[in-house]
Every structure is written in C-alpha cells, then in structure tokens.
Amino acid sequence: MTLTLSSACSLHPQVALRPEPFGALAYHYGNRRLVFLKHPDVVRVVRELEQHPTVGDTLQACGIATEREASFLQALNQLANSDILRVC
C-alpha cells in the first residue's frame, strides 16, 4: 500500500527511536531491522503521526511546507515498506 496525505499511520509498536545528532536510529525489535532517519524533521513527523488523523494533518502540524510534502511521502513510504511505520 502506498501512503498518501489522507492515509493514517503510526510508528510500529515494536520500533524504538534513538535520538542522534543527524536525526535518529529506528530499531525494529521484531525483524531486527535498523533504519537511519537522517533529518530531524522526519523524526518529528514520525513521532507525531499517532497524534493526528492523517499524514497530511501531521505534516501541517509539524510546519512542513507544501513543497516538501512529496519528499516526506517518499520517506514515509520507505519507512512503511521497512515495517518501521504501520498503516492504520
């Protein structure tokens, strides 16, 4: 499934985020996958996904400019494909 601005998703419950100077490390305890989140804005969005009904609402709440939405959707889709995020 491809995430869109109207999709709802959240951080997988088996994933832990560890803050790093470049962003964060996401570790999935179930599949033991380690993923680098290379920008603090992406980390902020991932942490906030559960607090908002859609991805678009999350991006807006985090102050992400409209012209950056496509790159965030691409990043979030990669995280969903890695099971770091789950679609609700």
> Tell me: the pLDDT tens digits for 76-86?
999 999 999 99
Residue 38 forms part of a structural domain = yes
Residue 43 forms part of a structural domain = yes
Give burial (CB, 10 Å; 0-12/13-18/19+) of 54.
Answer: middle
- Please tell me which residue, 58 or 2, carries the higher pLDDT value: 58
Amino acid at 85: L
Chain centroid to CA 24: 11
Which residue range(s) make up the domain with 75?
A: 10-87
Looking at residue 72, which CATH number applies to its domain? 3.90.930
Under a CB-based contact definition with an 8 Å cutoff, are residues 36 and 23 in contact?
Answer: yes
Residue 2 forms part of a structural domain = no
Distances (CA, A) of 27 to 5, 30, 49, 59: 25, 9, 17, 23
> Tell me: the pLDDT tens digits for 4-56?
999 999 999 999 999 999 999 999 999 999 999 999 999 999 999 999 999 99
pLDDT of residue 88: 87
Q: Give the total number of structural domains in the chain.
A: 1
pLDDT of residue 22: 92
Residue 4 forms part of a structural domain = no
pLDDT of residue 30: 96
